[in-house]
Amino acid sequence: MREFAAANKGFALISNRKLLALYTAMVECRRLAEQAQRKTRRAADSILGHEAAAVGAAIDLVAHDVVAPALWPDGAFKAINPAPAIVSTFPQALRHAAAANGTQQIALLFSSQKPAAQPAWLSAVTRAAHENLPILFVFLSRPQMKVEPAVGQAALIERKGHALPVIHVDGSDVVAVYRVATEAITHARKGNGPTLIDCRLSEPADPIQSMQNYLIGKGLDPSAFDA
């Protein structure tokens, strides 16, 4: 089983309280996503297993920010962070970001693995790069994907004369996602434009089990905080 590197027992950039908040949000998020899957009787392959990406990217958003969560059930996303508004489409999130530019408000867009949604996703990424919009894009990918979609999107945008930072991170590691997302959100709030985070899952790691191992390594008891 994949494990995190040994935790530093001394100074930490992320407090124990925040680490526990990340963990409990992932646990509750999974519970609600599984509940939604049982009700709809449909597979939720773009939801379950991506808890680290969702929680790490969204937990510190504030009121007046917006999120386009793709296939995440609204209830599961609200378990992460009830403050931001949820919009159902990428164009709605783009309109918010365009109107909010210069106000420190941002939009967070998660990709959908549905083929029909890909043109709208690429259009949103391209427009954000062209207009320097305050958006954090989070691409959810799995180990078996043979292409590098985030890299391909960035290359296409560059050929059109625009730049878009692309950061690759282990989508099973909520601490890594949180650190990267915090920097990207600060970058956007300062008016520096969008960032794309490619969250690729490491197989067969489970994000929640990995975080449990990390917390135990820091001397914390995750079982006391399970939902």
Q: Is residue 115 part of a domain?
A: yes
Q: Is residue 105 part of a domain?
A: yes
Predicted pLDDT of residue 154: 57
What is the average pLDDT value for the chain, to the nearest integer? 82
pLDDT greater than 60 at residue 130: yes
- Which tens digits make up the pLDDT trace of 168-191? 899 999 999 999 999 999 999 999
Cα separation, 185 vs 201, in Å, equals 21
Range of the domain at 25: 16-221
Q: Is residue 59 part of a domain?
A: yes
**169 vs 71, higher pLDDT:** 169
Q: Is residue 179 part of a domain?
A: yes
Q: Is residue 57 part of a domain?
A: yes
Predicted pLDDT of residue 161: 54
Pick the range with the lowest mean pLDDT from 152-156, 163-167, 171-175, 218-222.
Answer: 152-156
Look up the CATH number of the domain holding residue 201.
Answer: 3.40.50.970
Q: Is residue 129 part of a domain?
A: yes
Pick the range with the lowest mean pLDDT from 3-17, 28-42, 91-105, 166-180.
Answer: 3-17
Full-model pTM: 0.86
Would the CA dihedral through 177, 183, 184, 189 be positive or negative? positive
Q: Is residue 83 part of a domain?
A: yes
Cα separation, 65 vs 62, in Å, equals 6
Q: Is residue 61 part of a domain?
A: yes
Percent of the chain with pLDDT over 70: 78
Report for 7-11, 147-151, 219-223: range of highest mean pLDDT? 219-223
**In the predicted model, what is the mean pLDDT of residues 154-176?**
76
Total domains in the fold of the chain: 1
Predicted pLDDT of residue 140: 86
Cα separation, 176 vs 180, in Å, equals 6
Other Cβ atoms within 10 Å of 220 Cβ, number: 17
Predicted pLDDT of residue 142: 72
